[in-house]
């Protein structure tokens, strides 16, 4: 019996007892989706040095 911790509610659950992996329930899965859709979760963006330089040069007064 494998147990994991739900990333939404932090509850331990039996992996074989859920159809909503990696969440403990469909409700936690929907809560997580809602957070992504409201942009509460974000992936970090590290700009490429060339992209950063280009962005800075676009903002220089002429």
pLDDT tens digits, residue range 4-62? 999 999 999 999 999 999 999 999 999 999 999 999 988 888 878 888 777 777 666 65
- Report residue 8: phi and psi, to 5°: -95, -50
Q: Could you tell me if residue 48 is inside a domain?
A: no
In a domain, 10, yes or no: yes
CB neighbours of 50 closer than 8 A, spacing ≥ 6? none
Q: Identify the CA nearest to 32 among candidates 6, 3, 51, 60.
A: 6
> Who wins on pLDDT, 3 or 61?
3
State the CATH number of the domain containing residue 29. 3.30.50.10
Q: What are phi and psi of 61, to 5 degrees?
A: -70, 145
DSSP state of 15: G
Write down the residue that tokens 């007892």 correspond to: 17
């Amino acid at each position: 019996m494998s147990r994991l911790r739900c990333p939404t509610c932090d509850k331990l659950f039996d992996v074989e007892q859920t159809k909503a992996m990696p969440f403990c329930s469909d409700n936690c899965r929907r809560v997580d989706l809602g957070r992504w859709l409201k942009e509460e979760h974000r992936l970090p963006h590290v700009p490429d040095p060339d992209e950063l330089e280009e962005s800075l040069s676009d903002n220089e007064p002429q």
